[in-house]
């Protein structure tokens, strides 16, 4: 009993010192002059021939703390781009810039330029409602609404007025569930609560919900990290099918997943975009030391 | 020695017991090779000794105190002169009352007869003896307890475990007191109600349309017992509670939604405490506010529209009661709305839903069960509220649905039935118990439903 308490104390203390150590390296590595390891500009190819998103010098601040530093990145049409990097390096933060979900965090501030088909979405005059209809999002933890399966999928089309009548709405709900690979499993229980499905089914329901408003881009923030391997495999297959019609940005902690599903991979480190390139290249022959360290599992 | 000095005495002895017990534990430890050889810490042995010193003596004291008056009175009345003993028991009781008053130095009803003052002296001398015995017994028990514990202290005595057991028993005793009090109150209300229903049939009480308990005490009155129909009271209660909920539910809910979804942090940090202050205003203040400000306003306004408004109206009481319940509804709903996971909001915002769409279509339905539970608790609060209604709604038991007339409620009638001198076995007094029983059952049912609903809701987001 006493021994347990003691070891707990010890662990907490060692964690603290570990944190202090990270902080020290971080500040000595990336002080105000952004010296040493992080490259001056992103290594690899940040551009794309047919970009949907064009991001330039994107900075994000939480209150006074900067979380993203001058990220430049193009995201191409109908490509799957994965974002990898150690926890807390700003992957989610960057992803949330793309549909302005950071607006919902009072202390968050985004500067720079993010163009969606040539239009700057950071402009305060842009209405986020149509923007979010064009750029859908799937979260880490499945978050179906406490409504029926049907209503979950129908919610987006309803608020955007996409269906003129019940027949059209049924049509949208069915195709969305079909595309999300869920229709077969739920077509007999459309009026049952979405929260009653299994985790993997819930996540596919959330994907169906996002697809239902016909977005151009789907942002996925660690969509499989709460799922078992079989459910994960299903979602990965699904992403493969969806890339025919959608652009997909996926944040993932699994390098195998990034390798399996994406054409391009972006590596983030402490708020900087270190390297972005063809997925094969990143995983077989990374150009930057930090990327290499990460994919060979030296930290992260 | 009086009981309180005796208490102090026991406490001091117990403290001494602690010190001695601990000292002995240290001594034994030294003899056996250090504190490690003891099962428990020396302090535990001290505490163990202290408990043995104090607890038996205290138990004796409690039992003694509760029995002493009855025994004394019995002994004294046995010694009364024979001619008094032959009197009927009520008369003897009165005389004994005089004796007790005389002993306590109070004013005595009639001139003091020699028998009574003799009895009083007898009482006093007995009491002195009793006090002596009590002091000796208590002192003896502390000593015995101390010796007992002292002899038990050895390395293998599991003092810590025994103390834990005493602590548990003490905790159980405390919670039992609360439970037994509740059960006692419920039972007494139940039995008095049953007595009431021997005068007035249950069906008549529950379904009768006329309430005028004042006429029933005159036995020559025709149908005197026919005036205990409680329907007008139930109707009045529901009317006022209904008006109150019409005010409190929407305003409280909107407030909660504003505070949890829209308000900037600064506003929230000011507004929430302010609402809690509103909840802390005594209901009697709301009551005279209702009677002196709101009721005349309503009357004046109604008359300017050509309506006839009673000077005490259900509307005035209901409105003010509604204001009183607003903080209740808003803080409960606020908790429930805050318990809806952020992921739910993110999901809706990411689909392009606006703030009000998210609130109305996602958060509100998700929080609905909890909100309903909160509202039910508020209703039971409104039904039980007394002060505002006494002051603002009047006493006349009208059976009406018109909020501009005076009505009365169950709680108000309980008050009026019991105010003033009453015979304890008249139907009029007993009716208060029956009303109390109805009120109790109604609020109990509401609370049980509400708590079940709220609990279900909590589980949903575990
Ligand atoms: N809501 C927030 N408020 C303040 N700081 C935040 C918030 N969200 C994220 N951060 C900070 O921004 C940095 C990047 O976080 P995040 O984008 O969540 O990283 P990742 O998704 O790569 O693990 C972290 O240092 C984190 O502490
Ligand atoms: Mg993240």
- Find all residues with CB under 8 Å of B145, minimum gap 6, and list them: B17, B52, B53, B54, B55, B56, B57
Q: B232 and B102: one domain?
A: no
Residues of chain A with pLDDT under 50: 1-35, 300
Instruction: Please tell me the distance between residue A57's alpha carbon and the centre of ligand 1 in angstroms.
Output: 18
Question: Is B357 in the same domain as B446?
Answer: yes
Residue B215 in this model has a pLDDT that exceeds 50: no
Query: Which numbered atom of ligand 1 lies nearest the CA of A251?
Result: 21
The residue behind tokens 């005796």 is B6
- Judged by CB atoms closer than 8 Å, whether chains meet at A133 and B354 is answered as no
Could you list the residue range(s) of the whole structural domain that residue A21 is in? 2-295
Residue A284's pLDDT is 92
State the pLDDT confidence band at B393, using cuts at 50, 70 and 90.
Answer: confident
Query: Does ligand 1 have an atom closer than 6 angstroms to the CB of A91?
Result: yes
State the Cα–Cα distance between residues B362 and A169, nearest whole angstrom.
19
**Residues from chain A contacting residue B350 (CB–CB below 8 Å):** 99, 101, 132, 136-137, 139, 210
Q: Which of B123, B138, B157 is the last residue of a domain?
A: B157
Q: Is residue B184 part of a domain?
A: no
Residues B243, B142 within the same domain? no
The whole-number average pLDDT for the span B259-283 is 89
Query: What is the SS3 assignment for B109?
Result: coil
In a domain, A300, yes or no: no
Phi, psi of A273 (to 5 degrees): -90, 105
Q: Which of B139, B157, B175 is the last residue of a domain?
A: B157
Residue A89 CB–ligand 1 contact under 6 Å: yes
Give residue A291 CA to ligand 1 midpoint distance, Å: 20
CATH number of the domain that residue A170 is part of: 3.40.50.300
pLDDT at residue B124 in the model = 87
Q: How many domains does chain A have?
A: 1
CB-CB: which of B348, B350, B354 is closest to A99?
B350
Whole-number pLDDT of residue A7: 46
Of the residues B99, B134, B157, which one is the last residue of a structural domain? B157
Kindly state the tokens that stand for B383.
């039904």
pLDDT band at residue B176 under the 50/70/90 scheme = very high
CB contact (8 A) between residue A159 and residue B357: yes
Mark whether B417 and B274 lie in a shared domain.
yes
Q: What is the pLDDT of residues B127-149, one digit of tens each?
A: 899 999 999 999 999 999 999 99
The dihedral sign for the CA sequence B280, B285, B291, B294: negative
Q: Tell me, yes or no, whether B246 lies in a domain.
A: yes
pLDDT in tens, B179-189: 999 999 999 99
Among A121, A128, A146, A207, the residue to mutate for chain B (most B Cβ within 10 A)? A146
Mean pLDDT of B198-208: 87
Share of chain B above pLDDT 90, in %: 40
A25-39 per-residue burial string, b: 16 or more CB within 10 A, e: under 16: eeeeebeeeeeebbb
- Beta strand pairing status for A217-221 and A247-251? parallel
Residues in chain A: 300
- What pLDDT shows up at residue A11? 45
The region that residue A197 occupies, defined by phi over 0 for left and psi between -120 and 50 for alpha, beta otherwise, is beta
Q: Cβ(A201) to ligand 1 under 6 A?
A: no
Of residues B59 and A39, more confidently modeled = B59
ipTM: 0.84
- Ligand 1 site, residue A102, Cβ cutoff 6 A: no
Q: Please tell me whether residues B27 and B129 are part of one structural domain.
A: yes
The answer to whether residue B189 is domain-embedded is no
Closest C-alpha among A298, A280, B264 to residue A289: A298
Residue B191 lies in a domain: no
Does any domain span residue B325? yes
pLDDT reported for residue B421: 65
CA distance B268 to chain A (A): 14
The predicted model scores a pTM of: 0.73
Evaluate if residue B398 carries a pLDDT over 90. no
Q: What's the confidence (pLDDT) of residue B445?
A: 92
What pLDDT does residue A24 have? Answer: 43
Closest CA to A221 of A124, A142, A109, A133: A142
Q: Is A97 in the pocket of ligand 1 (CB under 6 A)?
A: no
Domain presence at residue B167: no
Give residue A263 CA to ligand 2 midpoint distance, Å: 21
Nearest ligand to the CA atom of A139: 2
CA–CA distances in Å: residue B352 to residues A60, A103, A134, A158, B348: 22, 12, 9, 11, 7
In this complex, is the C-beta atom of A205 within 8 Å of any C-beta atom belonging to chain B?
no
Cβ atoms of B362 and A195 within 8 Å: the answer is no
For residue B423, is it within any domain?
yes
Predicted local confidence at residue A107, as pLDDT = 92
Which residues form the domain of B16? 3-157
**pLDDT at position B460:** 61
Q: B236: closest CA among B376, B388, B372, B427? A: B388
Output the pLDDT for position B187: 94
8 A C-beta contact, residue B96 and residue B76: yes
Instruction: Kindly state whether residues B136 and B265 are assigned to the same domain.
Output: no
Residue with structure tokens 């209740």? Answer: B328
Q: Closest Cα to atom 7, ligand 1: which residue?
A: A62
The response to whether residue A92 sits with its C-beta less than 6 Å from ligand 1 reads yes
Distance CA A104, CA A109 (A): 10
CA of A87 to the centre of ligand 2 (A): 7
Total domains present in chain B: 2
pLDDT at B355 over 80: yes
Q: Are residues B342 and B456 located together in one domain of the fold?
A: yes
For CA atoms A12, A15, A20, A23, the dihedral sign is negative
Atom of ligand 1 nearest to the CA of A60: 12
The pLDDT assigned to B226 comes to: 53
Using the Cβ of A137 and the Cβ atoms of chain B, whether some distance falls under 8 Å is answered with: yes
* Domain-located, residue B173: no
């Amino acid at each position: 009993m006493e021994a347990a308490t003691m070891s707990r104390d010890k662990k907490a203390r060692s964690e603290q010192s570990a944190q202090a150590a990270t902080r020290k390296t971080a500040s000595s590595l990336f002080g105000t002059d952004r010296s040493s390891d992080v490259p001056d500009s992103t290594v690899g190819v940040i551009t794309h021939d047919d970009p949907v998103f064009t991001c330039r010098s994107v900075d994000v601040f939480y209150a006074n703390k900067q979380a993203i530093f001058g990220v430049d990145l193009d995201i191409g049409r109908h490509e799957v781009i994965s974002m990898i990097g150690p926890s807390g390096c700003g992957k989610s933060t960057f992803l949330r810039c793309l549909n302005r979900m950071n607006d919902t965090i009072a202390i968050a501030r985004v500067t720079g330029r993010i163009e969606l088909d040539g239009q700057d979405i950071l402009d305060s005059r842009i209405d986020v409602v149509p923007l979010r209809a064009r750029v859908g999002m799937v979260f880490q933890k499945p978050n179906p609404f406490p409504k029926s399966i049907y209503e979950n999928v129908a919610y987006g089309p309803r608020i955007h007025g996409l269906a003129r009548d019940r027949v059209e709405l049924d049509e949208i709900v069915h195709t969305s569930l079909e595309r999300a690979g869920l229709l077969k499993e739920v077509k007999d229980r459309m009026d049952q609560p979405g929260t009653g499905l299994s985790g993997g089914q819930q996540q596919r329901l959330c994907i169906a919900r996002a697809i239902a408003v016909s977005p151009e881009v789907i942002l996925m923030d660690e969509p499989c990290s709460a799922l078992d391997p079989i459910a994960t495999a299903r979602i990965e297959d699904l992403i493969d099918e969806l890339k025919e019609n959608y652009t997909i940005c996926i944040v993932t902690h699994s390098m195998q997943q990034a390798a399996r599903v994406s054409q391009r991979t972006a590596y983030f480190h402490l708020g900087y975009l270190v390297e972005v390139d063809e997925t094969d290249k990143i995983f077989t022959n990374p150009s930057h030391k930090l990327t290499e360290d990460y994919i060979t599992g030296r930290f992260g | 020695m009086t009981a309180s000095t005796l208490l102090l005495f026991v406490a001091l002895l117990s403290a001494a017991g602690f010190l001695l017990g601990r000292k002995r534990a240290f001594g034994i430890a030294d003899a056996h090779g250090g504190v490690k050889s003891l099962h428990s810490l020396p302090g535990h042995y001290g505490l163990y000794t202290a408990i043995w010193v104090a607890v038996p003596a205290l138990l004796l004291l409690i039992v003694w105190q509760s029995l002493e008056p009855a025994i004394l009175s019995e002994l004294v009345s046995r010694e009364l002169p024979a001619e008094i003993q032959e009197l009927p028991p009520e008369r003897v009781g009165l005389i004994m009352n005089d004796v007790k008053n005389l002993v306590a130095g109070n004013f005595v009803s009639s001139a003091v007869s020699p028998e009574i003052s003799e009895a009083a002296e007898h009482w006093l001398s007995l009491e002195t003896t009793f006090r002596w015995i009590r002091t000796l017994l208590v002192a003896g028990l502390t000593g015995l307890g101390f010796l007992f514990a002292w002899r038990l202290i050895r390395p293998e005595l599991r003092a810590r475990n025994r103390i834990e057991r005493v602590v548990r028993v003490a905790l159980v005793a405390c919670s039992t007191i609360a439970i037994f009090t509740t059960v006692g109150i419920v039972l007494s209300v139940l039995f008095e109600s049953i007595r009431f229903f021997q005068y007035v049939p249950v069906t008549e009480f529950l379904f009768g349309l006329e309430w005028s308990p004042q006429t029933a005490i005159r036995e020559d009155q025709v149908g005197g017992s026919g005036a205990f129909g409680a329907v007008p009271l139930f109707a009045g209660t529901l009317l006022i509670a209904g008006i109150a909920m019409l005010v409190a539910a929407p305003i409280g809910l909107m407030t909660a939604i504003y505070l949890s979804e829209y308000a900037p942090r600064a506003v929230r940090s000011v507004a929430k405490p302010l609402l809690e202050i509103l909840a802390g205003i005594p209901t009697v203040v709301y009551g005279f506010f209702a009677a002196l400000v709101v009721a005349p306003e309503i009357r004046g306004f109604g008359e300017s529209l050509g309506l006839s408004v009673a000077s005490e109206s259900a509307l005035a009481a209901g409105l003010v009661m509604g204001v009183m319940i607003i903080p209740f509804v808003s803080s409960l709903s606020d908790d429930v709305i805050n318990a809806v996971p952020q992921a739910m909001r993110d999901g809706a915002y990411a689909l392009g839903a606006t703030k009000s769409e998210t609130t109305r279509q996602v958060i509100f339905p998700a929080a609905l069960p909890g909100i309903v539970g909160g509202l039910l608790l508020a209703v039971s609060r409104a039904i039980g509220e007394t002060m505002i209604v006494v002051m603002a709604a009047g006493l006349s038991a009208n059976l009406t649905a018109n909020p501009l007339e005076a009505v009365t409620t169950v709680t108000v009638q309980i008050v009026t039935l019991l105010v003033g001198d009453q015979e304890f076995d008249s139907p009029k007094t007993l009716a208060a118990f029956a009303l109390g029983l109805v009120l109790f059952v109604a609020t109990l049912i509401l609370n049980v439903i509400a708590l079940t609903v709220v609990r279900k809701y909590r589980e949903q987001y575990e």
